């Protein structure tokens, strides 16, 4: 699983950025526990988990929504720029 985790996380972030109100719960089935992820992957997983729970917060606070969106964009860039060392 580890060698695919960056691709799964990056693709999921891309879908979230394209459709902010929808997150595929399948991510948490594919990667149910972030313990085996490296720190970057774990950050992305946690941010996606937070995103999946804070739709109401994003709707009430546009600044929070923008911050979260930018955070996801940055994590996606890093996931794609630094491929996992385990292949």
| Alpha helix ranges (H) inside the chain | 2-18, 26-30, 39-53, 55-60, 62-81
Question: In this predicted structure, what is the pLDDT of residue 30?
Answer: 83
Kindly state the average pLDDT of the residues 12-17. Answer: 90
Model confidence pLDDT, tens digit, residues 32-76: 888 889 999 999 999 999 998 888 999 999 999 999 999 999 999
Tell me phi and psi for residue 3, to 5 degrees.
-70, -20
Instruction: Decide if 3 contacts 86 (C-beta within 8 A).
Output: yes
Tell me the pTM: 0.83
More confident residue, 30 or 22: 30
Instruction: Decide if 13 contacts 75 (C-beta within 8 A).
Output: yes
Q: Could you tell me the pLDDT band of residue 87, with boundaries at 50, 70 and 90? A: very low
Residue 13 confidence (pLDDT) above 60: yes
Domain boundaries of the chain, sorted by first residue: 2-15+35-81
């Amino acid at each position: 699983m580890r060698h695919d985790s960056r691709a799964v996380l990056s693709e999921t972030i891309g879908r979230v950025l394209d459709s902010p109100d929808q997150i595929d719960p399948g991510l948490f089935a594919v990667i149910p526990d972030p313990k085996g992820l490296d720190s970057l992957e774990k950050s992305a997983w946690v941010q996606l988990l937070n995103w999946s729970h804070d739709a109401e917060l994003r709707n009430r606070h546009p600044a929070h929504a923008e911050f979260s969106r930018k955070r996801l964009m940055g994590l996606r860039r890093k996931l794609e720029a630094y491929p996992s060392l385990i292949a």
